[in-house]
Amino acid sequence: MNIVMRNHDNEPLLARIGEAELPRWIQVPVGIVLGLLTLFCAFATVDMLLLPGKKSSPSPILAFAVVLILLLACLWVFEKSFRLVTGRKKRGGLLSPTALRVVAIFLLIIPVAGLFTGYYREMGGVAILQVVMYVFGFFGLRAFARKREATADEQAKSEETET
């Protein structure tokens, strides 16, 4: 049996600490509230499509596509809330590095969409502050995804050397 002891003196402090997990008494209520909010959003999304008297979209095909995308997003968030309530863990945490990168991309899409809607003319300085926060969020999520990937690779290598 080989036991490999690593010297952590050269690693930064944040790399040694790792990710702290929230206690179960916080995870369960947050999961329940998130699940209920997600179900409400899903019903509201379906209601947008099924309202016969109100024409909310110029094209029924476009409305159906938007509702389908929103329902898929609700399903994804509901799955995350289910994992919070049941305590089921995956190796990469609640959100995988790929999911973190996808959310980061959406954080960049939001300010670009604001260019086409006239949001910046309407809101002024507040909109500029929001763009700065979105950009910081983008880079923060990308860095977090890299860290989580490196941690997963390191754990896989340590499991490989133990066997």
Per-residue pLDDT 10s for the chain (163 aa) are: 445 445 555 555 545 455 667 788 888 999 999 999 999 999 988 887 777 656 666 677 877 888 888 999 999 899 889 888 888 766 657 788 888 999 999 999 988 888 888 888 888 889 899 999 999 999 999 999 998 888 877 777 777 777 6
Domain that holds residue 131: 92-163
Q: 36 vs 30, 64, 93, CA distance in Å?
A: 10, 23, 22
Q: Indicate whether 30 belongs to any domain.
A: yes
Show the tokens assigned to 148. Answer: 């989580």
Q: Which pLDDT score, from 0 to 100, does residue 124 have?
A: 86
Same domain? For 61 and 96 the reply is: no
Do 74 and 140 lie in a common domain? no
Phi, psi dihedral angles at 20 (to 5 degrees): -85, 140
Distance from CA of residue 71 to its chain's centroid? 16
Residue 82 to residue 56: CA distance in whole angstroms = 32
Q: What is the DSSP letter of 141?
A: H
Q: Within this chain, do residues 121 and 77 fall inside the same structural domain, yes or no?
A: no
What does pTM read for this prediction? 0.57
Q: What is residue 56's DSSP assignment? A: -
Computed on alpha carbons and rounded to an integer, the radius of gyration of the chain in Å comes to 21
